[in-house]
Amino acid sequence: MRAVCGFLASLLFCLGAVPLARAAPASRSVDVALVLVTDVSRSVTESEFALEKEGYATAIQSPEVLDAIHHGALGAIAITYVEFSGPDQVATVVGWEVVRDAASAKKFATDILSRPRSSYGRTAVGSGIDAAVQDIAESGFTATRRVIDVCGDGNSNAGMPMDDARAEALKAGITINGLAIVHTNPPPWLAPHVDPPGGIVKYYQDHVIAGPGSFVMNVREDQDFVQAMTRKFVEEIAGRTAHRAKQAI
């Protein structure tokens, strides 16, 4: 009887242990958790939108970016792609993926390029940042550094106030960097949005970027977005302290 009871107890223990073993997560530690937050509001033309996506897809696969990833302590980053326009038009278009080599970089690039534009609307930069903060909090990754990368061409005119969004990111220990697209000759109706007092770069410096070492780069709409994004990725992944404003080209 004791032997039977012992056998049953052992069997029940083993059966109970099976789901626990299956539920145990693999390591989700990375050097950087990076959220790409991209403006798809009405001021962003289809050609600009194509530049943004091509820039991300090409930059993430570049030798410079892959080298920066490989030189990290863990040799891996977690990355996700979010689009925003109005406050109710914020979408995680490509969920979290781990990039550690050329194959995983190519997959992320392919996923970005395959997704259609999620919306057109106003420009809720703060709401985009707020969504990125939540994405990082819920990602399940342990990262040495957490970065939100905002790319856009205009000031925030809807949604969550910028000061609140930045404060939320800072409280969570997240750095916000920016890539400002400069319009060279905007039509009069668009100028106040894409060329606010002091220019869009100053707006990003004063109202968007936040955290130690945060910076903004700028690229003109007719310049090479790929080169700008490649440099930006390298700085963010390598964890270098950048100047607050940089010329992309």
Asked, for residue 100, whether it belongs to a domain, the answer is yes
Asked, for residue 62, whether it belongs to a domain, the answer is yes
Asked, for residue 84, whether it belongs to a domain, the answer is yes
Please give the pLDDT value at position 221. Answer: 60
DSSP codes, 166-185: HHHHHHTT-EEEEEEEEPSS
Please give the pLDDT value at position 240. Answer: 62
Number of structural domains found in the chain: 1
Asked, for residue 196, whether it belongs to a domain, the answer is yes
Contacts of 139 (CB under 8 A, 6+ apart): 33, 78, 80, 96
Please give the pLDDT value at position 27. Answer: 61
pTM above 0.75, yes or no: yes
Q: What angle do CA 158, 81, 134 make, to 5 degrees?
A: 65
Asked, for residue 18, whether it belongs to a domain, the answer is no
Average of per-residue pLDDT values in the chain = 86
- Per the structure, the complete domain to which residue 127 belongs is given by 29-247
Per-state percent for the chain, helix, strand, coil, to nearest 5: 45, 25, 35
Q: Tell me, what CATH number does 53's domain have?
A: 3.40.50.410
Please give the pLDDT value at position 222. Answer: 61
Asked, for residue 12, whether it belongs to a domain, the answer is no
Asked, for residue 123, whether it belongs to a domain, the answer is yes
| H helical segments located in the chain | 2-23, 46-60, 63-70, 102-114, 125-137, 162-171, 191-194, 200-207, 225-238
Q: In degrees to the nearest 10, what's the CA dihedral of 18, 20, 26, 29?
A: -170
Contacts of 183 (CB under 8 A, 6+ apart): 153, 190, 194, 195, 200, 221
Q: Along the 249 residues of the chain, how does pLDDT read in single tens digits?
A: 444 444 434 433 344 433 322 222 346 899 999 999 999 999 998 988 988 899 999 999 999 999 999 999 999 999 999 999 999 999 999 999 999 999 999 999 999 999 999 999 999 999 999 999 999 999 999 999 999 999 999 999 999 999 999 999 999 999 999 999 998 888 899 999 999 999 999 999 999 999 989 999 998 866 678 899 999 999 999 886 444 444 433
Asked, for residue 163, whether it belongs to a domain, the answer is yes
